[in-house]
Structure 1
Amino acid sequence: MGDLPASARAIIIGGGIIGCSTAYHLAKLGWKDVILLERGKLTSGSTWHAAGLVGQLRTSANITQLLKYSVELYNRLEAETGLATGWKMNGGLRLACNNERMTEIRRQATTAHSFGLEMHLLSPKEAQDLWPIMDIGDLVGAAFLPTDGQANPADISQSLAKGARMNGVRIFEETAVTGIEVAKGRAVAVMTDKGRIAADVIVNCAGQWARELGALAGVNVPLQSVQHQYIVTEAMAGVPKNLPTLRDPDRLIYFKEEVGGLVMGGYEHNPIPWLPGPKPSRGDRFALPGDFAFQLLENDWDHFGQLMEQALIRVPALEKAGVKQMINGPESFTPDGNFILGEAPEVRNFYVGAGFNAFGIASGGGAGRALAEWVAGGEPPMDLWPVDIRRFGSVHRDRNWVLTRTLEAYAHHYSMAWPHEELESVRPVRVSPLYQKLKDQGAVFGWKLGWERPNWFAPQGVEPRDVYSYGRQNWFEHVGSEHRCARERVVLIDQTSFAKFMLVGRDAEAALSWIAANDVAKKPGSIVYTQMLNQRGGIECDLTVTRVADDAYYIVTGTGYATHDFHWIATHIPAGLDARLIDVSSAYGVLSLMGPKARDVLAAVTDADVSNAAFPFGMAREIAVAGAMVRALRVTYVGELGWELHIPVESMVAVYDALWAAGGKHGIANAGYRAIESLRLEKFYRAWSSDITPDHSPLEAGMGWAVKLRKNTPFLGREALVAQVEKGGAQKKLPKLLACFTVDDPAIVLLGRETIFRNGRQCGWLASGGYGYTLETNIGIGYVRDPENGVSPEDVLSGTYELEIACERYPAKVSLQPLYDPKMERVKG
């Protein structure tokens, strides 16, 4: 399409469905001077051979909304552009062949109801009425989503491309990108085989090649191409045009109708990566050929046989059906099965939309819109944490690690989605100095951003491993023992995996005062719990800040948020200020000493005065323990007297041994992260990414006390909070309010995403759920919502509540205060 321009406002690289959708939506937002570059022809990478099933339900409300938007877009796109899309809203069936899978489906149905998605439970016969050619001899039940469907991937992409052109986007095919120019930490230009193009924003939608393209800018995009096979049959009797899509996860297979026949594929437990072989010049076994356009891989019938065997059981008529074609096309998958969106943490103005795990067509419309809005607004338009590129860390730079973990994630695609399940491959990577010592004491570890963290401790004689189920899992009573020890005696918790930063410089206070919602202008030794807000007043970070000097702050945040929070803080330091952010996570281990006997234990190992008068809550001190200088922070996330002890890593073992010896007479015990979860639920402490997110303000989360609105100090997000207060009026109404719920029935298990009913009407869903061992009850946390009329505290407390759990309703009680609060210390949340 003519000569390349010398510059553009935005350059999108990659002409698959995500690139075309992002271009379409940027243009719809009014962006002019947008160009899309495609090395081959549009859709020539993996889009053209995608199977095209469009399902909507995910475990995240916002990701589900993105997929719902895809359906809305596909419903209207042909009328808008005049190009057929092959879109059919023929619904989707999900089968269950055993009781555990049926329980999973029942919980999925409740999740769908929570997120406003229609989903119906069916008997085996009702499912067969919708899909007459399947055998139902082994079925326990099924679910039907009437708004799911299927599409022709290439046609939808071409229609999006036409819509983009209609709104001014210029598309250049057969234009290869050879380099990304970065200056002063910002992407500023794209080098192509036809010349250089300067740009304000560059968007990497290069599909399987997104990792290599990102590397040109110094950006890591952790994905791996995997061979994905399916067959297309000749026309078959009994296959109508409106046959729903079908997913049979117990048999690892899926089906859709195509030209009177069936498409059948699946997700085998032994996937094969696409590793074309090293380039002679680079020796890189992961390098993909640049000229792989509209091509397929060699068919592997032996490997596909395991899926065919299962398909013949479900659809016996397949045995006599002619196979028109087998497709073996590589598709990009990620280590956690979620796609990748957002601004790269390494380089400003460089965005990524890639790694769609074989549901790129379902995601295409919504993901393209979200990425376009992210580009236009400079921050995510909503909570997109499950797909945010900043969920990755240093471990994801190792291509061999990514390969192995991605294959494990692929193999789990249709496996049971057990609560609390941990992936097992390529572990351990990052461990505390106490790892082996705790393992010898029965620690069962979980994994987060490369770190091994003790989830619970198996007593002597109990096998230290998780046994998964939808009921009470095998660790339930043992976590209860750890919980009670924290409430009644004293525990040690290894929290070395915390992310830890130093903000230093002459203007550190001014910089942090702008980024933090709470007042951080405190004297050295003070600890401040604070959120950091976006322009909408939503919570982007939730952390503690300790002032250690006039020009230095020590910042502690959650393990999984290390990349995200570092990027948020570093990119929001106002220009011209002398303030530098340094990651010191690996320099310090952390031992949390918690419980009513914590002071007795700490006093026995240090000469420092740790009395309440000398060491009050919310303060930090440097104290000597076992020959080490320890930064002791008097805070707690379990609601008991306690300290976080931040210890030079080389002294971790010595300090642990000293505390353990001193705590012997007080009944000290190890505790893990599952006990922390139970303890914090009883105290109604919030957790970022579940209870509080970029979609929720501190006011809605009941944390207005941690915001400096009464001071005149400006801070990021202040205007949005002021507007929220003014709109709420004298009744203090807000669009939603966070509340705590209890369900006494011991037979049920709360996991989160259960539907909340107030006075018989749906009003939200649980963000998190678990069990409180002190109170001996099930506890959930979720927002009571009424965006139109607003919600006041009085409204919340005046209602009668029920929770829908696995499609059954149970009476619930509500509270806006901590459930367990015997005059203990108030801290985080």
Structure 2
Amino acid sequence: MSDRNEAGRDAEAREPATGRETRPELPARARVVIIGGGVIGTSVAYHLTKLGWTDVVLLEQGELSCGTTWHAAGLVGQLRASESGTRLVQYSTQLYAELEDEVGLSAGYQRCGGVTVARTPDRMMQLRRTAATAEAYGLECELLTPAQTQDRYPAMQVDDLVGGIWLPGDGKANPTDLTMALAKGARMRGATIVERVRVTGIGVEDAAVTSVRTDRGDLEAEIVVNCAGQWAKQLADAVGVTVPLHSAEHFYVVTDQLDGVHPDLPILRDPDGYTYFKEEVGGLVVGGFEPNAKPWRSPDDLPYPFEFQLLDEDWEHFSILMHSAVERIPALADAGIRKFYNGPESFTPDNQFILGEAPTLRNYFVGAGFNSVGIASAGGAGRALAEWIVAGQPTMDLLAVDIRRFARFNGNNRWLRSRVAEILGLHYAIPWPNRELETARPFRRSPLHDRLAEQNACFGSRMGWERPNYFAPPGEDSAIEYAWGKQNWLPWSAAEQRATRTAVAVFDQTSFSKYLVTGRDAVAALQWICTNDVDVPVGRAVYTGLLNERGTYESDLTVTRTGPHTYLLVSSSATTERDQDWIRKNVPAGADVHIVDVTSAYAVFGVMGPRSRDVLSRLSDADLGDGAFGFGDSRELTIGSATVRATRITYVGELGWELYVPAEFAVGVYEDLMSAGSDLGVANAGYYAIESMRLEKGYRAFGRELTPDYGPVEAGLTFACKLKTDIDFLGREAVEKAKAAGPRRRLVSFVVSDAEPMLWGGELLLRDGGAAGIVTSAAWAAATGACVGLAYVSAPDGVVANRDWVGGGTYSVDVGGTTYPVEVSLRPPYDPANERIR
């Protein structure tokens, strides 16, 4: 029997009696058309109808669940790397448990708990950190000895284990049952689901969707939602939308029945052995994520039809997983194999799924690329995307999965094939906090890249840019030696910090996002979009936030007025697409405003430190004294033979300038800087040093301290809001309400009292011994001689986290299960009066 027929029979066996209705006619129009009838598409349909949008049509080229969904393993693990991701899955589990009462069909969901085991001390350190995170999020989690893991899972041998954790909230769902239940719920509230109809194109007019073309005719559509699984990229490419996905082969087997295996057996994960185990009909599903993955066909070359189909068996490739599985559960050595599954799944370049409205095409939404966590995520992700569609913007923090984190270059199929092989292989690797991906690099390069490589730079990557993390001494291997404690590069980064604090350092910050905003109405538009007053004299730079209607952060950046109707906006590397999309969507209708991305046109050099003025003065005739060139001033000046824009600003807390240098002059300017500062102690410095020094100064970073879950009152940034003026801005009303009520959460700086522990961010902060928050950012800092960081501390319900409350507690931080005292303050630990920068 062929794989296709056998897979189809298996799907029929899994599929519940659904009372499938006769195929409906294709409507002539719909408010929303969803493409793809897997678990994600049906979840979006279900949640749209739950929000009252009933004019919804879902189109599936085969039968519901026939693509990737039907062969998913169905694991539902609640704890994720971020609080927002964890809340999404928590909602999924609640929904799956309640669906049967609502629609009369079971989702096949069972809460059976999960055991994750560690074979090494490094893995156990990760699990202890996981347990601390669970405490912060209010999830049950218990640390286990090897013997206790065996009590939870008797079939496993534990002689080689260090320990484990128990997550009682984990569970499993039947993917096909879940899909059918969601589909029925959507139908019950008015949605139309049409199977056996293939989408062939999307109608577009004036950069907005107008219709969906199919092999059974066209239908008008106000909104299109691409939930087409591994076909999503091909559909998106046709309309110029970037959905970077590439399929890879994913393997698991189902065994015959085994003694001691019962329906209540927990999910077992053995990430050091690359494997997971789930009970199914008295046997075990044995699968995993092998370290050397197998990408499948190019996204441009996917087969059609491809319903309930599997790929060829590859026992040789699966052998590493099976060998490891037998080590963990010896009874598998004699178990019969009922079925070998090799199904293609689509993966993204960063192992996070994709949600949101395309920045290049209005009313075109995407929900795809779920990287083997689609069943766990489907409920929460479907609700989040439906709310985004209805509200016109995200209603929660979705930064990690936002489609706008990718740019056009991320859609290159060759680049994707290389990257996805690594991403799948890292699925069960130890998630080192500063892990750098290795494939498809170097990618985007600053004009200085080769010069810095010659000086032994270790490069990291952000938005594809190669950026120096630090510089190793001559003759040293510059590669990162990963560890949970202090890593090999720490002394080198500390030397860069000291050079910045005592002399002068040059940072290549070319990866900054840079936009020109021009036009007759540029001032008025930016006054509405920005929290701070940007109607400043030409030649002034202003730090500002960009907020949504809820008064929480969509970005933070620097706005420099370069002319009467011209501004230069400088933002973080990762937000290039997101920032521009947000600004365009919030410019008042009819305004004469133009946005141009000039990121690649300019290199950026941070020249920072008490001797920075001396270095620049040797290269320029301009007066750089405090009276002539104050903090926040920005103007063009000559540096050697080049003309650059110099802005007196800092992200490290020292006297310094950022130089915006036309790319073709970058190498020459860099050479001049290093030559002019050779007798002043000038040093190259990297982003690890920036991270340490910005935390000593308490400077916030978008995506960590500033997210769509936090606003200026909680973040301590109301000084960057024009609340003392009568100028309105987006989110002002919400900020004023938050200020009047007082925050329940407050961002604080802290310094660890002990110099030895290493913090990376994500650690549990305790107040008076109880969980109070999560560290958003942390690093070892030379000036304080210990780790410093930022964290949101939460007050109990009804209590305002004011200065007195924050200062009235005793704080500590949980570092891999060991707690250390920390000193907490609303002021930065380094130069709180800002004397050094001014």
Shorter-chain TM-score tier: over 0.9
Deviation at 1:420, TM superposition (A): 0.7
2:302 is aligned with 1:288: yes
Task: Tell me which residue corresponds to 1:763.
Answer: 772
Deviation at 1:422, TM superposition (A): 0.2
Q: Is the 8 A contact 2:242 2:406 kept in 1?
A: no
Please give the alpha-carbon distance, in whole angstroms, between the structure 1 residues aligned to 2:155 and 2:768: 44
Please give the alpha-carbon distance, in whole angstroms, between the structure 1 residues aligned to 2:574 and 2:168: 36
Select the residue among 743, 756, 774 that pairs with 1:747.
Answer: 756
Deviation at 1:759, TM superposition (A): 2.5
Deviation at 1:196, TM superposition (A): 2.0
2:117 is aligned with 1:95: yes
Q: How does 1:218-229 map to 2 (within 5 A)?
A: 218-229=240-251
Deviation at 1:787, TM superposition (A): 6.8
Question: Which segment is superposed worse, 100-109 or 745-754?
Answer: 745-754
Q: Is the 8 A contact 2:545 2:553 kept in 1?
A: yes
Please give the alpha-carbon distance, in whole angstroms, between the structure 1 residues aligned to 2:699 and 2:320: 48
Select the residue among 463, 467, 474 that pairs with 2:477.
Answer: 463
Select the residue among 556, 567, 577 that pairs with 1:542.
Answer: 556
Select the residue among 704, 709, 733 that pairs with 1:690.
Answer: 704
Q: Which amino acid aligns with 1:82?
A: G
Question: The residue matched to 1:687 in structure 2 has which SS?
Answer: coil
Question: The residue matched to 1:326 in structure 2 has which SS?
Answer: strand
Question: Which segment is superposed worse, 75-84 or 406-415?
Answer: 75-84
Q: Is the 8 A contact 2:540 2:560 kept in 1?
A: yes
- The 1:692–1:822 alpha-carbon spacing in structure 2 relative to 1, beyond 3 Å, is closer
Task: After superposition, give the CA deviation of every residue in 1:45-66 in whole Å (9 maximum; x if it has no partner).
Answer: 0100111111122211100110
Task: Tell me which residue corresponds to 2:14.
Answer: none
Task: Tell me which residue corresponds to 1:407.
Answer: 421
Deviation at 1:217, TM superposition (A): 2.2
Question: Which segment is superposed worse, 569-578 or 748-757?
Answer: 748-757
Q: How does 1:14-413 map to 2 (within 5 A)?
A: 14-275=36-297, 286-413=300-427
Question: The residue matched to 2:422 in structure 1 has which SS?
Answer: helix
Q: Is the 8 A contact 2:698 2:828 kept in 1?
A: yes
Please give the alpha-carbon distance, in whole angstroms, between the structure 2 residues aligned to 1:113 and 1:12: 38
Deviation at 1:32, TM superposition (A): 2.3
Task: After superposition, give the CA deviation of every residue in 1:148-183 in whole Å (9 maximum; x if it has no partner).
Answer: 011100001101111111122111111111111111
Task: Tell me which residue corresponds to 2:10.
Answer: none
Question: The residue matched to 2:276 in structure 1 has which SS?
Answer: strand
Q: Which amino acid aligns with 1:434?
A: L
Please give the alpha-carbon distance, in whole angstroms, between the structure 2 residues aligned to 1:217 and 1:434: 36
Q: Is the 8 A contact 2:645 2:660 kept in 1?
A: yes
- The 1:55–1:285 alpha-carbon spacing in structure 2 relative to 1, beyond 3 Å, is closer
Q: Is the 8 A contact 2:527 2:535 kept in 1?
A: yes
Please give the alpha-carbon distance, in whole angstroms, between the structure 1 residues aligned to 2:693 and 2:281: 56
Deviation at 1:34, TM superposition (A): 1.3
Please give the alpha-carbon distance, in whole angstroms, between the structure 2 residues aligned to 1:155 and 1:578: 52
2:789 is aligned with 1:780: yes
2:493 is aligned with 1:483: no
Deviation at 1:650, TM superposition (A): 0.7
Q: Is the 8 A contact 1:119 1:144 kept in 2?
A: yes
Q: Is the 8 A contact 1:736 1:787 kept in 2?
A: no
Question: The residue matched to 1:352 in structure 2 has which SS?
Answer: strand
Deviation at 1:194, TM superposition (A): 2.0
Q: Which amino acid aligns with 2:123?
A: R
Question: The residue matched to 1:653 in structure 2 has which SS?
Answer: helix
Deviation at 1:823, TM superposition (A): 4.3
Q: How does 1:410-489 map to 2 (within 5 A)?
A: 410-489=424-503
2:15 is aligned with 1:6: no
Task: Tell me which residue corresponds to 1:620.
Answer: 634
Question: The residue matched to 2:122 in structure 1 has which SS?
Answer: helix
Q: Is the 8 A contact 1:737 1:793 kept in 2?
A: no
Task: After superposition, give the CA deviation of every residue in 1:464-518 in whole Å (9 maximum; x if it has no partner).
Answer: 1111000100011111000011111100000011111000111111111111111
Please give the alpha-carbon distance, in whole angstroms, between the structure 1 residues aligned to 2:106 and 2:639: 72
Question: The residue matched to 2:618 in structure 1 has which SS?
Answer: helix
Task: After superposition, give the CA deviation of every residue in 1:255-278 in whole Å (9 maximum; x if it has no partner).
Answer: 000011000011112211221xxx
Question: Which segment is superposed worse, 633-642 or 427-436?
Answer: 427-436
Task: Tell me which residue corresponds to 1:281.
Answer: none
Q: Is the 8 A contact 2:244 2:411 kept in 1?
A: yes
Q: Which amino acid aligns with 1:382?
A: M
- The 1:766–1:273 alpha-carbon spacing in structure 2 relative to 1, beyond 3 Å, is same
Select the residue among 553, 569, 574 that pairs with 2:583.
Answer: 569
Q: Is the 8 A contact 1:639 1:680 kept in 2?
A: yes
Task: Tell me which residue corresponds to 1:811.
Answer: 821
Please give the alpha-carbon distance, in whole angstroms, between the structure 2 residues aligned to 1:191 and 1:60: 38
Q: Which amino acid aligns with 1:18?
A: I
Q: Is the 8 A contact 1:204 1:352 kept in 2?
A: yes
Select the residue among 499, 511, 521 that pairs with 1:507.
Answer: 521
Task: Tell me which residue corresponds to 1:592.
Answer: 606
Task: After superposition, give the CA deviation of every residue in 1:601-660 in whole Å (9 maximum; x if it has no partner).
Answer: 100001111111111110101001122110001100000000000001111111111111
- The 1:787–1:588 alpha-carbon spacing in structure 2 relative to 1, beyond 3 Å, is farther
Deviation at 1:563, TM superposition (A): 1.2
Please give the alpha-carbon distance, in whole angstroms, between the structure 2 residues aligned to 1:802 and 1:719: 36
Task: Tell me which residue corresponds to 1:278.
Answer: none
Task: After superposition, give the CA deviation of every residue in 1:648-685 in whole Å (9 maximum; x if it has no partner).
Answer: 11111111111111111110001000000000010000
Q: Is the 8 A contact 1:587 1:648 kept in 2?
A: yes
Q: Which amino acid aligns with 1:806?
A: G
TM-score between the two structures when normalised by the length of structure 2: 0.96
Please give the alpha-carbon distance, in whole angstroms, between the structure 2 residues aligned to 1:207 and 1:827: 51
Please give the alpha-carbon distance, in whole angstroms, between the structure 2 residues aligned to 1:33 and 1:509: 40
Deviation at 1:529, TM superposition (A): 0.5
Deviation at 1:111, TM superposition (A): 1.5
Deviation at 1:389, TM superposition (A): 0.9
Question: The residue matched to 1:48 in structure 2 has which SS?
Answer: helix
Please give the alpha-carbon distance, in whole angstroms, between the structure 2 residues aligned to 1:608 and 1:822: 30
Deviation at 1:362, TM superposition (A): 0.7
- The 1:802–1:771 alpha-carbon spacing in structure 2 relative to 1, beyond 3 Å, is same
Please give the alpha-carbon distance, in whole angstroms, between the structure 2 residues aligned to 1:53 and 1:641: 53
Please give the alpha-carbon distance, in whole angstroms, between the structure 2 residues aligned to 1:304 and 1:455: 37
Please give the alpha-carbon distance, in whole angstroms, between the structure 1 residues aligned to 2:370 and 2:49: 23
Q: Which amino acid aligns with 2:49?
A: A
- The 1:529–1:822 alpha-carbon spacing in structure 2 relative to 1, beyond 3 Å, is closer
Deviation at 1:690, TM superposition (A): 0.4
Q: Which runs of 5+ in 1 are unaligned?
A: 276-283
Please give the alpha-carbon distance, in whole angstroms, between the structure 1 residues aligned to 2:224 and 2:43: 15
Q: Could you say what the CA RMSD is over the residues aligned between the two structures, in angstroms? A: 1.4
Please give the alpha-carbon distance, in whole angstroms, between the structure 2 residues aligned to 1:394 and 1:6: 33
Task: Tell me which residue corresponds to 1:279.
Answer: none
Question: The residue matched to 2:96 in structure 1 has which SS?
Answer: helix
Q: Which runs of 5+ in 2 are unaligned?
A: 1-22
Deviation at 1:188, TM superposition (A): 2.1
Question: The residue matched to 2:574 in structure 1 has which SS?
Answer: helix
Deviation at 1:822, TM superposition (A): 6.3
Please give the alpha-carbon distance, in whole angstroms, between the structure 1 residues aligned to 2:84 and 2:299: 36
Q: Is the 8 A contact 2:97 2:107 kept in 1?
A: no
Task: After superposition, give the CA deviation of every residue in 1:283-308 in whole Å (9 maximum; x if it has no partner).
Answer: x7732112101111111111111211
Question: The residue matched to 1:665 in structure 2 has which SS?
Answer: coil
Please give the alpha-carbon distance, in whole angstroms, between the structure 1 residues aligned to 2:92 and 2:301: 32
Question: Which segment is superposed worse, 641-650 or 758-767?
Answer: 758-767
Question: Which segment is superposed worse, 733-742 or 646-655?
Answer: 733-742
Q: Is the 8 A contact 2:655 2:836 kept in 1?
A: no
Task: Tell me which residue corresponds to 1:793.
Answer: 803
